Amino acid sequence: MRNSLLQAIARNPWASAQDGFLAVSVLAVGLLLAIEFDLLQYGYEMTGHERHITLMEAIALTALLAICISAFVARRLSEEHREFSMRDERDDVMRELRDQATRDELTGLANRRAMLAALKELCAAETAGHHAFFLMDLNGFKRVNDGYGHAAGDSVLTVIAERLRRVARPSDLLARFGGDEFAVLAYDVDQAGAEAVGQRFIAALDSEIQVEGVAHRIGVSIGGVLVPDDCGSVQQILAKADVAMYRAKATKRSALVFYCSLDEQSNAFSA
């Protein structure tokens, strides 16, 4: 109870000061009554003939004083508990709303908003490090929507999201960018490590996806950029990853293309 009271005082110093003032006032009144009626020497009063209050009256006043102080403390703790509970409920609601704002409803992955925020934070960070960003577009997904309906398409996307989640590293941020596009931010990887990460995502979609008894073969085209080697801003990251992804899509099969490889090819051709 002592710790709860101290926490209550720390969280609401002004209200606690008011309660303290009232408590001190009650104590002062009690002390004046004790002095006036010599309650501290109630043993003498019990044998004297000229007393203003009886022993039972003194005990009753003391009990009343204790009740008043306890009531102040209990009220403050009760208010604090109620406010703390309401604050927890508000915090839970706010966390849920924030989570909904950054979470893709269909797949449960992070959404475009969350990925853009992570990229912005990464570009603004002053700490050194090498990272990779992958933009992925599914091959053959349009046939699922057109031939079997959007419900089947949603089921396929859910399976794909789970496969990508299983092969992603714990530190990777995996997001559904919208439609049949996904994105991954892989932290602390060099080019060789980024190549390995990207190939895992391709391998995750090698096998057919079974939905309602129908097998669908879905591939993926991945465009990758190295951060900060290839780009230094969010706009550059997205634009260069998009260029690399469309180059991968031109192969007509699952492929991983890095923007830096396109730069090397361009330099070779110009030479």
Active site residues: 180
- The secondary structure of 100-165 as a DSSP string is HHTB-TTT-SB-HHHHHHHHHHHHH--S---EEEEEEEEESHHHHHHHH-HHHHHHHHHHHHHHHH
Q: Is 230 helix (H, G, I), strand (E, B) or coil?
A: coil
Tokens of 239: 């634009």
Cα 258 to chain centroid distance, Å, stands at 31
Q: Which residues contact 266 (CB under 8 A, 6 or more apart)?
A: none
Q: Which residues contact 62 (CB under 8 A, 6 or more apart)?
A: 30, 39
> Cβ distance 259 to 241 under 8 Å?
yes
Nearest partner of 226 among 136, 134, 137, judged by Cα:
134
